[in-house]
């Protein structure tokens, strides 16, 4: 019973994420430069139409012209939003490719960036990657602007999973994967050699895999 309830609530979380991604795509496109010109043009058409006698509102004079311009802008905004919302499921993943349940980015996006120094040794850094779905398996890459052999790095889903480093050679790797929770939060800790020059670390997401039925029922995720 608990497993069934857990799966239902997690499926609801996935649906919430999907709707959020669609809304984000629709809204983001409306504020682009090309769409702004279309919306502004609708306002101008409404303004000129009112002056020409084609009333869109019961107001008269300059108030009617301004109200018609505002009505044109609002109507254009709603129309573009609905259009982009309709095409969102087909277009919002154009920055990558699907391979079954796995999505791989054309250009890995940045999930974390911080300048690290020996003073940050064993400090816990928190970050999120909300574009991935809840409970997904995220595949990431580690990029360092300095000498990688001078630093130990560990990425995890929770701070309790992080080790307490005592040496810069304990954990040195360039990529990995991690199962995240509903909030897609991750943590990172480092240990740099005492005489190393501070440099930047970036975590980029190569792709992620949607959770299957077993994951949605797993109480440990």
Q: What is the pLDDT of residue 72?
A: 61
Question: What pLDDT is stored for residue 121 in this prediction?
Answer: 95
pLDDT at 13: 80
What pTM was estimated for this model as a whole? 0.76
What confidence score (pLDDT) does residue 38 get? 47
According to the model, what pLDDT value does residue 70 have?
61
**Contact 150/193 with Cβ under 8 angstroms?**
yes
| Mean pLDDT, all residues of the chain | 81
End-to-end CA distance of the chain: 17
Domains in the chain with CATH codes: 2-91 (no CATH), 97-217 (2.60.120)
Strand 102-105 and strand 199-209: pairing? antiparallel
Highest mean pLDDT among 2-6, 25-29, 102-106: 102-106
Instruction: List the beta bridge partners of residue 105.
Output: 96
Of the listed ranges 6-15, 180-189, 190-199, the one predicted with least confidence: 6-15
Alpha carbon distance 196, 191 (integer Å): 10
pLDDT of residue 197: 92
Say what the pLDDT of residue 214 is.
Answer: 81
Q: Does the pLDDT value for residue 90 go beyond 70?
A: yes
- Measured CA to CA, the distance from residue 91 to residue 166 in angstroms comes to 47
Query: DSSP per residue over 16-76, as a string?
Result: HHHHHHHHHHHHHHHTSHHHHHHHHHHHHHHHHHHHTT--SSS--HHHHHHHHHHHHHHHH
The pLDDT of residue 162 is above 60:
yes
The confidence score (pLDDT) of residue 51 equals 45
Express each pLDDT in 15-71 by its tens digit.
Answer: 888 888 888 887 776 655 445 544 444 444 444 454 444 555 444 444 544 555 566
**Which DSSP string do the residues of the chain spell out, in sequence order?**
-HHHHHHHHHHHHHHHHHHHHHHHHHHHHHTSHHHHHHHHHHHHHHHHHHHTT--SSS--HHHHHHHHHHHHHHHHHHHHHHHHHHHHHHHTTTTEEEETTEEEESSPPEEEEEEE-GGGTTPPEEEE-TTSPTT-EEEEEEEESS-GGGEEEEEESSGGG-----STTS---SEEEEE--TT-EEEEEEEE-TTPPPEEEEEEEEEEE---HHHHH-TT-
As a whole number of angstroms, the distance between CA 122 and CA 88 comes to: 42
């Amino acid at each position: 019973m608990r497993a069934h309830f857990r799966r239902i609530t997690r499926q609801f979380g996935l649906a919430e994420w999907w709707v959020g991604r669609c809304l984000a795509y629709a809204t983001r496109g409306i504020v682009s430069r090309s769409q702004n010109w279309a919306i502004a043009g609708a306002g101008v058409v409404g303004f000129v139409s009112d002056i020409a006698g084609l009333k869109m509102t019961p107001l008269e004079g300059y108030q009617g012209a301004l109200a018609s311009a505002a009505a044109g802008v609002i109507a254009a905004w709603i129309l573009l939003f609905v259009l982009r919302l309709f095409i969102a499921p087909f277009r919002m993943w154009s920055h990558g490719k699907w391979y079954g349940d796995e999505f791989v980015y054309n250009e890995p996006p940045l999930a974390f960036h911080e300048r690290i120094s020996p003073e940050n040794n064993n400090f816990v850094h928190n970050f999120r990657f909300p574009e991935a779905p809840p409970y997904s398996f995220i595949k990431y890459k580690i990029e360092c602007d300095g000498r990688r052999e001078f630093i130990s790095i560990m990425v995890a889903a929770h701070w309790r999973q992080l080790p307490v480093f005592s040496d810069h050679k304990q954990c040195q790797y360039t990529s990995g994967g991690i199962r995240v929770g509903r909030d897609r939060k991750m943590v990172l800790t480092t240990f740099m050699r005492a005489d190393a020059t501070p440099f930047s670390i970036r975590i980029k997401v190569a792709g992620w895999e949607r959770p299957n039925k077993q994951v949605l029922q797993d109480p440990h995720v």
